[in-house]
């Protein structure tokens, strides 16, 4: 008696599928960044076998960065966006169209700097066998602030979800602010006030008084997160002296503004230099706490 062989479909997505999902989530990625996320153990040249067919099908385009044609950043075309719209891993995320290579070049500096920070966490997580995947970093996450009809918003440069597996299993979430020193130090520090307002914000529902939702008096963030995410500032783009001064300005805002001081009593706050994270890893003692003593520590120890 023969036994029928059951052939099951693979549970693994193809490299092409994953590459399109990465571009939908992160908006813009260099060839090297896609390789680091997608196939880090394969020779870098093999990533072209994934990207070239996608370009030929009209699903992705690219822009050239700098004077060397070897540095390319890829993004989804309108057909590529239409392709990924209903994918399960992208639910709740809207792929932002980039209409041209010129438009991609204009947003490259900020977007790709954020990806550099993400890759530092991803590389470190892989060495530790922690659970943190390329899609666990969500850029440009918008939150409403106190009832202003949606005109007043807090836009985090990124939100990420990370699970440490040893010495015991712990889940972390973090808001990330990327500072390339393109705004004043005071304006950067004011972001802490926005986060403090969001931390305390209880939305009101006109005409729904007495409902179960209102009786629970849920804070706005509790509808999205089981615990308020820690807040991490990642700085680059200036001398060490300038970046150190900007971190001190963040500490001063935390100490001097009552709303931010109250936030810091409940939420870990920290700042680090991007190049330090890339060189030593985010778990190294490269983060300056924004409240209390200024002794550097790892990001999970803030």
Calpha distance 36→14 (Å, rounded): 16
Question: What does the block give as tokens for 11?
Answer: 């549970």
Residue position matching structure tokens 């954020």: 114
Instruction: Look at residue 262 and tell me whether its pLDDT is greater than 80.
Output: yes
Instruction: Look at residue 12 and tell me whether its pLDDT is greater than 80.
Output: no
For the stretch 211-246, pLDDT in tens is 444 445 788 899 999 999 999 999 999 999 999 999
Calpha distance 154→174 (Å, rounded): 14
- Average pLDDT (202-210) is 61
- Burial bucket for residue 8 (CB in 10 Å: 0-12, 13-18, 19+): exposed
Question: What does the block give as tokens for 89?
Answer: 């891993």
| DSSP β-ladder status, 72-76 and 137-144 | unpaired
Lowest mean pLDDT: which of 91-100, 117-126, 210-219, 273-282?
210-219
For the stretch 122-167, pLDDT in tens is 999 999 999 999 999 999 999 988 765 555 889 999 999 999 999 9
Q: What is the per-residue pLDDT for 226?
A: 94
- CA torsion sign for 186, 187, 192, 196 is positive
């Amino acid at each position: 008696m023969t036994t029928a062989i059951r052939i099951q479909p693979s549970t693994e997505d193809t490299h092409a599928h994953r590459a399109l999902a990465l571009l939908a989530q992160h908006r813009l990625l260099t060839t090297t960044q896609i390789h680091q996320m997608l196939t880090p153990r394969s020779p870098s040249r093999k990533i072209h076998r994934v990207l070239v067919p996608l370009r030929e099908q009209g699903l992705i385009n690219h822009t050239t960065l700098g004077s060397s044609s070897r540095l390319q950043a890829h993004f989804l075309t309108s057909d590529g966006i239409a392709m990924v719209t209903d994918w399960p891993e992208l639910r709740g995320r809207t792929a932002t169209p980039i209409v041209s290579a010129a438009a991609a070049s204009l947003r490259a500096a900020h977007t790709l700097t954020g990806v550099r920070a993400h890759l530092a966490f991803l590389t470190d997580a892989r060495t530790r066998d922690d659970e943190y995947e390329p899609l666990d970093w969500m850029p440009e996450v918008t939150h409403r602030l106190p009832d202003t009809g949606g005109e007043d918003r807090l836009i985090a440069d990124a939100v990420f979800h990370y699970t440490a597996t040893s010495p015991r299993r712990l889940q972390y979430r973090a808001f990330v602010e990327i500072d390339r020193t393109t705004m004043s130090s005071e304006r950067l520090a004011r972001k802490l006030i926005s986060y403090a307002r969001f931390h305390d914000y209880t939305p009101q529902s006109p005409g729904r008084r007495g409902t179960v939702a209102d009786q629970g008096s849920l804070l706005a963030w509790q509808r999205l997160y089981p615990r308020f995410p820690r807040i991490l500032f990642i700085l680059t783009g200036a001398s060490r002296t300038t970046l150190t001064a900007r971190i001190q300005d963040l500490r001063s805002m935390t100490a001097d503004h009552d709303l931010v001081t109250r936030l810091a009593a409940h939420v870990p706050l920290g700042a680090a230099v991007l190049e330090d994270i890339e060189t030593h890893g985010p778990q190294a003692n490269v983060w300056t706490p924004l409240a209390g003593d200024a002794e550097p520590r790892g990001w999970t120890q803030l």
